[in-house]
Chain A
Amino acid sequence: MTTLAHADPKAAKSLRRRSWLRRLRGADTGRPIWRQPVTVVALSILAAWLLIALAAPLIAPYDPIAQSIDTYQPPTGAHWFGTDSLGRDVFSRVVHGARLSIPLALAIVALALLLGGLLGLVAGYVGRLLDEAVMRLTDLVFAFPQIILAMAVTAAFGPSTGNAILALVIVSWPVYARVIRSAVLTIRGEDYLNASRLLGVGPIRTLRRDVLPNSVGPAIVLATLELGNAVLLLAALSFLGLGPRPPAAEWGSMVALGAQDLSMWWVSVFPGLAILTVVLAFNVLGDALRDRLDPRYMNGR
């Protein structure tokens, strides 16, 4: 590989990029990651939730925000998951909740990956003062437990869906910045980067064409791991009344509704199970990915 890198930067790059893909495909363990039983289960659960989110209006028997006089009905044939304090059908609300939690979690992780990735990429490549500034900024965010800082930010800007996303992006970008930065640092002195610089390629083009493809892999795996965390944090924020405004069918706020009357267990048990299955599936998937790749590759060091 070293000889190849000297002779042909492109070949070295493709080798490098293929190495982590090859591990996922199971070159060393014999079974591709998507054929592993646990991964299959996790992927099926996620696929099911995705389908539910897409087809929510078709699946839900009732309007998720329509109130009725049938308050606190236990689970029956008419209301599979019962009804809540306002007579709304819990099943319909859980089904519609998937349309909020899953896309919002994806948005949070994508935005955090974008912001953190960009900062980490530039910090790692440029180095010096900029690197120092970005790293101290990550330290600053790490000085707070995530939910506390997110609460403070949403309280400051006012509770809404947009501000909840903003708050969660603010508390979650530093991980990606660190991972990408350390990946960039490991390849900074590589011959193919020097080669492209000698050829007169500008820094932005170098970053985009050579640095990014070779450093983004671990961050994407990390993003998968963080998806479950994003679902949990979002649910926690809206449980605290700092997420999407009522009457939005958000799982966290639905669990909060069930806390009003403990004996009506169905009001909070079903949305909670929804959160649990989605988060568990994301975590299993992330774990499987991490198992395949070197674990030390994944920590933002």
Chain B
Amino acid sequence: MTTVTQGTPGAAVTAAPGPRPRRRRPVLAYVAKRLVITIGLLLGVTVLTFGLVQVVPGDPVTANLSDQALNDPAAVAAFQAKWGLDQPVYVQYLHYLGNLLHGDLGTSQQTGRAVAEDLLQYVPATMELAIPTMLLALLLGTGIGMLAAVRNGRLTDQLIRVGALLGLSTPPFWLSLVVLYLFFYRFGLAPSGGRLSPGFTPPDTVTGMYTVDAMLAGQWELAWDAAQHLLLPILVLTCLTVAILVRFVRSSMLEVLGQDYIKAAYAKGLPTGLVLRRHLLRAGLVPVITVSGLAFASLLSGTVLVENIFGWPGLGQYAYRSASALDLPAILGASLFVALVYTLVNLTVDLLYGLIDPRIRIS
């Protein structure tokens, strides 16, 4: 299900023999190729979002004009001319594309503000959840996945596999509620939701991430309060993301463990810790880079549901509110933004992978 680029294993071997005149070209060609593909993909994404606006039942004219104006052909024509609705579809698309390039994602019917402006406000809140979650999940996912691989088939491995499957099978929105019930309602260990407790005012905006901004301003009490509000949403999101990573890391490490050079390292009498660090971790982590893109996507999906429960004013909640209010410019703007971010993450992942593993970029 991932969009992993996989090279044919034999490709490196079949490269032409003899000295190569320019050694750096393959990398550049690879980067250029990936960039072109990404730009094409993003164009496709805009066609898709534009197409969704077109197929929507409901005419913008009737939706926006009063009954009286609708009876006046001149008013209808003026409205259509103003918004370019009298133009052929492809002209409208080019307009749409032109607006996008200027950062104009349309106007939200709900907030009455530009969608781009809304996003600027909501996205940092999501980043405040997503960045620590991703770091934590990569760390935990690698550690636990490696442990499972080394203990392959034993009790530890079985328990980890069951835990990962449970994490994959739990609805994120339900887990959020359970966690909230336990840690807020039952034990009172964490706040119920939102980004700050009542009585606190947000710090001056630098990054838009309250914890960071408060620390930058030296408001330690505020930073501590903001950090407490991060706790539960990050807990839920990390559980989900780790579950995906563990399974992948485990199978990737198992593959490496079966290689001859690991056996050789053991046969040489190298201590286990050294073999695991030097040989297993290095080789086993390369494919993990590719799955982090997938994990990131699931994290973004998770935020839609988790932010909703925790009253977290982030991108996910913005998308949800727009979708449930059928605020089309907002939902399409948000999904376009998410697709952009996700595509760029995948591009980075592909480039990194190509740089690390030369077999990939040749294919």
Interface residues of A (CB under 8 A from B): 136, 139-140, 142-149, 151-159, 175, 228, 232, 235-236, 239-242, 252, 255-256, 258-259, 262-263, 265, 268-269, 272, 275-276, 279-280, 283-284, 287, 295, 299-301
**Bound-state Cα–Cα, A151 to B305, Å:** 12
**Bound-state Cα–Cα, A152 to B174, Å:** 22
Q: Check B181–A262 contact: CB distance below 8 A.
A: yes
**A151-B320, A155-B323 provided; 7 other pairs, C-beta below 8 A?**
A145-B297, A152-B52, A228-B168, A259-B177, A259-B309, A287-B165, A299-B2
Q: Which of B52, B170, B173 contacts A256 (CB 8 A)?
A: B173
Mask for B341-361, Cβ within 8 A of A = 1, else 0? 011000000000000000000
Q: Flag whether B324 is at the interface (Cβ < 8 A).
A: yes
Q: Which of A139, A268, A280 contacts B169 (CB 8 A)?
A: A280
**Bound-state Cα–Cα, A115 to B319, Å:** 28
Q: What residues of chain B lie closer than 8 Å to A140, measured between beta carbons?
A: 41, 44-45, 48
Give 12 A-B contacts (CB < 8 Å), ordered by A residue: A136-B40, A143-B41, A144-B45, A145-B297, A145-B298, A145-B300, A146-B301, A154-B323, A157-B55, A236-B173, A268-B174, A287-B165
Q: Which of A139, A154, A232, A259 contacts B3 (CB 8 A)?
A: A139
**Bound-state Cα–Cα, A142 to B347, Å:** 13
**Bound-state Cα–Cα, A228 to B2, Å:** 17
Measured CB to CB, the nearest residue on chain A to B186 is A265
With A144-B335, A239-B305, A272-B171 in contact, do A151 and B319 touch (Cβ < 8 Å)? yes
Q: What residues of chain B lie closer than 8 Å to A159, measured between beta carbons?
A: 324
Q: What residues of chain B lie closer than 8 Å to A175, measured between beta carbons?
A: 1
**Bound-state Cα–Cα, A159 to B324, Å:** 8
Q: Check A300–B171 contact: CB distance below 8 A.
A: no
With A140-B41, A145-B338, A236-B171 in contact, do A258 and B3 touch (Cβ < 8 Å)? no
Q: What residues of chain A lie closer than 8 Å to B331, measured between beta carbons?
A: 151-152, 155-156
Q: Please give the distance in Å from A234's CB to the nearest CB on chain B.
A: 10
Contact residues of B: prevailing secondary structure:
helix
With A151-B331, A240-B305 in contact, do A143 and B343 touch (Cβ < 8 Å)? yes
Q: What residues of chain B lie closer than 8 Å to A301, measured between beta carbons?
A: 4, 6
Q: What residues of chain B lie closer than 8 Å to A152, measured between beta carbons?
A: 49, 52, 323, 331-332, 335
Q: Check B171–A144 contact: CB distance below 8 A.
A: no
**Bound-state Cα–Cα, A296 to B304, Å:** 31
Q: Please give the distance in Å from A253's CB to the nearest CB on chain B.
A: 11
Q: Check B171–A255 contact: CB distance below 8 A.
A: yes
**Bound-state Cα–Cα, A283 to B161, Å:** 12
Q: Flag whether B126 is at the interface (Cβ < 8 A).
A: no
With A152-B332, A152-B335 in contact, do A262 and B2 touch (Cβ < 8 Å)? no
Q: What residues of chain B lie closer than 8 Å to A240, measured between beta carbons?
A: 304-305, 308, 320, 323-324
Q: Please give the distance in Å from B166's CB to the nearest CB on chain A.
A: 7
Contact residues of A: prevailing secondary structure:
helix
Q: Please give the distance in Å from A220's CB to the nearest CB on chain B.
A: 16
Q: Which of A151, A232, A252, A280 contacts B165 (CB 8 A)?
A: A280
Q: Check B335–A255 contact: CB distance below 8 A.
A: no
**Bound-state Cα–Cα, A206 to B6, Å:** 29
Q: Which of B166, B177, B328 contacts A155 (CB 8 A)?
A: B328
Q: Please give the distance in Å from A203's CB to the nearest CB on chain B.
A: 28
Interface residues of B (CB under 8 A from A): 1-4, 6, 40-42, 44-45, 48-49, 52-53, 55-57, 165-166, 168-174, 177-178, 180-181, 184-185, 192, 251, 297-298, 300-301, 304-305, 308-309, 319-320, 322-324, 326-328, 331-332, 334-335, 338-339, 342-343
Q: What residues of chain B lie closer than 8 Å to A299, measured between beta carbons?
A: 1-2, 4
Measured CB to CB, the nearest residue on chain A to B185 is A262
Q: Please give the distance in Å from A68's CB to the nearest CB on chain B.
A: 24
Q: Check B180–A262 contact: CB distance below 8 A.
A: yes
Q: Check B332–A276 contact: CB distance below 8 A.
A: no
**Bound-state Cα–Cα, A209 to B233, Å:** 52
Q: Check A158–B326 contact: CB distance below 8 A.
A: yes
Q: What residues of chain A lie closer than 8 Å to B180, measured between beta carbons?
A: 262
In this complex, which of A140, A157, A299 has the most chain B Cβ atoms within 10 angstroms of its Cβ? A140
Q: Check A139–B44 contact: CB distance below 8 A.
A: yes
Q: Please give the distance in Å from B53's CB to the nearest CB on chain A.
A: 8
With A151-B335, A280-B165 in contact, do A275 and B171 touch (Cβ < 8 Å)? yes
Q: Check B319–A255 contact: CB distance below 8 A.
A: no
**Bound-state Cα–Cα, A159 to B322, Å:** 13
Q: What residues of chain A lie closer than 8 Å to B335, measured between beta carbons?
A: 144, 148-149, 151-152
Q: Please give the distance in Å from B291's CB to the nearest CB on chain A.
A: 11
With A143-B45, A144-B338, A262-B177 in contact, do A276 and B169 touch (Cβ < 8 Å)? yes
Measured CB to CB, the nearest residue on chain B to A256 is B173
Q: Check A156–B177 contact: CB distance below 8 A.
A: no
Q: Check B44–A136 contact: CB distance below 8 A.
A: yes
**Bound-state Cα–Cα, A55 to B170, Å:** 26
Measured CB to CB, the nearest residue on chain A to B51 is A156
Q: Check B297–A156 contact: CB distance below 8 A.
A: no
Q: What residues of chain A lie closer than 8 Å to B326, measured between beta carbons?
A: 155, 158
**Bound-state Cα–Cα, A276 to B324, Å:** 25
Measured CB to CB, the nearest residue on chain A to B309 is A259
Q: Check A280–B166 contact: CB distance below 8 A.
A: yes
Q: What residues of chain B lie closer than 8 Å to A284, measured between beta carbons?
A: 165
**Bound-state Cα–Cα, A292 to B132, Å:** 36
Q: What residues of chain B lie closer than 8 Å to A239, measured between beta carbons?
A: 171, 173, 305
In this complex, which of B6, B40, B320, B328 has the most chain A Cβ atoms within 10 angstroms of its Cβ? B320
Measured CB to CB, the nearest residue on chain B to A278 is B169
Q: Check B342–A143 contact: CB distance below 8 A.
A: yes
Q: Check B178–A269 contact: CB distance below 8 A.
A: yes
In this complex, which of B53, B332, B339, B342 has the most chain A Cβ atoms within 10 angstroms of its Cβ? B339
